[in-house]
A and B are shown apart, each in its own frame.
Chain A
Amino acid sequence: KAGVTQTPRYLIKTRGQQVTLSCSPISGHRSVSWYQQTPGQGLQFLFEYFSETQRNKGNFPGRFSGRQFSNSRSEMNVSTLELGDSALYLCASSPGQPSTDGYTFGSGTRLTVV
């Protein structure tokens, strides 16, 4: 059974650019969540999608957005990149209810903004 797949693994972008990260959840998982991980702030919740609808959103600026497709694959987009956006972005999938099922995480996309 394939795990959660995130692409690309590594990304280097310049300040002001935008970036799109991709996540393919475990087959049959309908919930996809995104987290930002940094040494200073730890793991911070970005948003969660379920059946193509954003169900929850963290406390991030509007530059961070996401979407989910009918096959449950998800993308997140960051526009007007800032140096502080450098982080490991983790995608996590769940059958339906992360609060009870927990997550299966992907290996992450490491974004470096220069």
Chain B
Amino acid sequence: AQSVTQLGSHVSVSEGALVLLRCNYSSSVPPYLFWYVQYPNQGLQLLLKYTTGATLVKGINGFEAEFKKSETSFHLTKPSAHMSDAAEYFCAVSLSGGYNKLIFGAGTRLAVHP
């Protein structure tokens, strides 16, 4: 069965530092993978998604993620953190084949310090 594990429920970085949020997935078939961001009292916003093709995916707000099949990982990175990046981030894997839904990880709360 497909599942998602996000390592680290809380990550804290300094403004200008590298952001690295970890996501590992389990899937019996080639997965589709997503990263979403949630700001307080808001819904989730799509940052980026991997379907097929290039394994390095660029998203909005300077974020990118690399699909590594051998490591079953889809880590999210941003070279330089900004205060406005403080939010909760969710990795998700799709279920296809009749289930047609996304399974979300538990989320990682990112804090950015001046």
Chain A residues within 8 Å of B, Cβ to Cβ: 4, 6, 31, 33, 42-43, 45, 48, 55-56, 90, 92, 97-100, 102-108, 110
Q: Which of A6, A42, A56, A100 contacts B104 (CB 8 A)?
A: A42
User: C-beta contact mask, B83-109 vs A, less than 8 Å → 1, else 0?
Assistant: 000000010001110111111111100
- Interface contact B94-A103, CB-CB below 8 Å: no
Query: Using Cβ atoms and an 8 Å threshold, which residues of chain A touch B44?
Result: 90, 92, 103, 105
Chain B residues near A98 (CB-CB < 8 A): 94, 100-102
Please measure, in the bound complex, the distance between the C-alpha atom of A108 and the C-alpha atom of B45, giving whole angstroms: 12
CA–CA, A97 to B95, complex, Å?
10
Q: Are B43 and A56 in contact (CB under 8 A)?
A: no
State the CA gap A4–B42 with chains docked (Å): 12
Q: Which residues of chain A come closer than 8 Å to B90, judged between CB atoms?
A: 43
Chain A proximity of B38: nearest CB distance (Å): 8
Least distance between A25 CB and chain B CB atoms (Å): 13
* CB <8 Å contact, B34 and A102: yes
- Say whether, besides A98-B94, A100-B51, A103-B44, A43 and B100 are in contact (CB < 8 Å): no
The reply on B41 being an interface residue by CB < 8 A is yes
B46 within 8 A of A: yes
Q: Are B100 and A106 in contact (CB under 8 A)?
A: no
Asked if A56 contacts B46 (CB within 8 A), the reply is: no
Q: Is the CB of A99 within 8 A of B106?
A: no
CB distance from B107 to the nearest CB of A (A): 6
Q: A109 to nearest B CB, angstroms?
A: 10
Asked if residues A107 and B100 are in contact (CB atoms below 8 Å), the reply is no
Quick one: which of B41, B51, B101 contacts A48, CB cutoff 8 A?
B101
A4 touching B100 in the complex, CB below 8 Å, given contacts A43-B90, A100-B51: no
